[in-house]
Amino acid sequence: MNMSLLRLSQQATLFSAFLVFGMSTSHAEVTPSALAVMESQSPIDFRPDSTYFGRLPVLNFSLSSDTPLDVINNGSTEFSTAARANVNPGAGSLTLSGHDWELAQFHFHTPSEHLRDGQANPMEMHLVFSDSNNDLLVVGRWVQAGAFNNDLDPIFSHIPQNTSETLHIDHFNLNTLIPASLESFRYSGSLTTPPFSEGVSWVMLSQPLFMSSEQINAFSSLFPEGDARGIQDLNGRIVLTDVPGFVAAVPEPETYAMMLAGLCLMAFVAGRKNKPLTSDVPAGSVA
Ligand SMILES: [Zn+2]
């Protein structure tokens, strides 16, 4: 295949992916048949052969270094469960491509939900942001076993054991959740808990967070069966990354620019399609 044909083929793939995103549907009542037609689900496995490398819009976090948290255990045996820290309005925000997102809460899953080239991690953190349209953006970060994490100790040393307990923390530095280096994987997906609404923008940070094995065990012992959803099909979606060395092939600049534009547009189109649903599902309810 010559280069112009190859480029045409890539663009055709992009446009078909766009149509799939544009036609995405979501359902408040999640039945197996409803779920079967939802084609932009999360989590996914980030694989080199379906990921494209290039520069990505800068993530501008603005996070309070001293804010209170309310940590709850929104446990349920029927659905996936999570321990969640609710954040006060105004304590954290993210500006991305001129768009403002407000941090509503962060929570943890065990084991990790997203995979990196087939590899899982012991835990995964999700920071859930919403915008003025109630669209959602989730910043994820893998958690690996390492040194004892002093910053997270106030949460994990007293994590609520059941749904009736709330842990109030007076002082927490949200900046300790974010690494200095912000390389990431980005794609358009869904909530990983019911109702699995689509149109969620995902930013999975490459740099892991470290916690001691004891801290990880304290959390995972609450969820012996785990609280991570299984990997979902990519269904032709595009993943973009600025992680050096993850992908071997780098697309031509103009092709990449189209992919980048497509990803932003697709997230917003899907977001609008999901509006009636996501407005029923405030960010605070997302596990
Ligand atoms: Zn989550």
| pLDDT for the residue numbered 75 | 65
| CATH code assigned at 197 | 3.10.200.10
Considering the domain boundaries, does residue 28 fall inside one?
Answer: no
Please enumerate in sequence order all residues whose Cβ is within 8 A of that of 117, keeping only pairs 6 or more positions apart, or say none.
45, 46, 47, 48, 246
- In three-state secondary structure terms, 37 is coil
Considering the domain boundaries, does residue 75 fall inside one?
Answer: yes
The CA 201 to ligand 1 mean position distance, Å, reads 13
Please report where in the chains the tokens 């974010």 appear, as a residue: 178
| pLDDT for the residue numbered 167 | 93
**In whole angstroms, what is the distance from residue 241 CA to residue 20 CA?**
21
| pLDDT for the residue numbered 8 | 39
Considering the domain boundaries, does residue 24 fall inside one?
Answer: no
**What domain count does the chain have?**
1
The CA 100 to ligand 1 mean position distance, Å, reads 21
One-letter amino acid identity for 58?
V
The CA 195 to ligand 1 mean position distance, Å, reads 13
**In whole angstroms, what is the distance from residue 233 CA to residue 90 CA?**
35
Q: Is the pTM of the predicted complex or chain greater than 0.75?
A: yes
Considering the domain boundaries, does residue 30 fall inside one?
Answer: no
Considering the domain boundaries, does residue 1 fall inside one?
Answer: no
| pLDDT for the residue numbered 287 | 54
The CA 145 to ligand 1 mean position distance, Å, reads 19
Considering the domain boundaries, does residue 226 fall inside one?
Answer: yes
Residue 262, strand partner residues: none
pLDDT in tens, the chain (287 residues): 444 444 434 443 443 333 333 223 333 456 667 777 788 999 999 999 999 998 899 999 999 999 999 998 876 544 445 678 999 999 999 999 999 999 999 999 999 999 999 999 999 999 999 999 999 999 999 999 999 999 999 999 988 887 888 999 999 999 999 999 999 999 999 999 888 999 999 999 999 999 999 999 988 888 888 889 999 999 999 899 999 999 977 788 888 888 888 776 655 554 544 444 444 444 545 65
The CA 255 to ligand 1 mean position distance, Å, reads 32
**In whole angstroms, what is the distance from residue 155 CA to residue 168 CA?**
9
Cis ω for the linkage preceding 122 (within 30 of 0): no
**With contact defined as beta carbons under 8 Å apart, do 85 and 71 qualify?**
yes
Range of 224's domain? 38-285
Considering the domain boundaries, does residue 145 fall inside one?
Answer: yes
Considering the domain boundaries, does residue 17 fall inside one?
Answer: no
Name the H helices within the chain: 3-22, 32-36, 153-156, 213-220, 253-273, 275-278
**In whole angstroms, what is the distance from residue 247 CA to residue 258 CA?**
18
The CA 108 to ligand 1 mean position distance, Å, reads 6
The CA 126 to ligand 1 mean position distance, Å, reads 5
The CA 226 to ligand 1 mean position distance, Å, reads 12
The CA 57 to ligand 1 mean position distance, Å, reads 23
The CA 124 to ligand 1 mean position distance, Å, reads 8
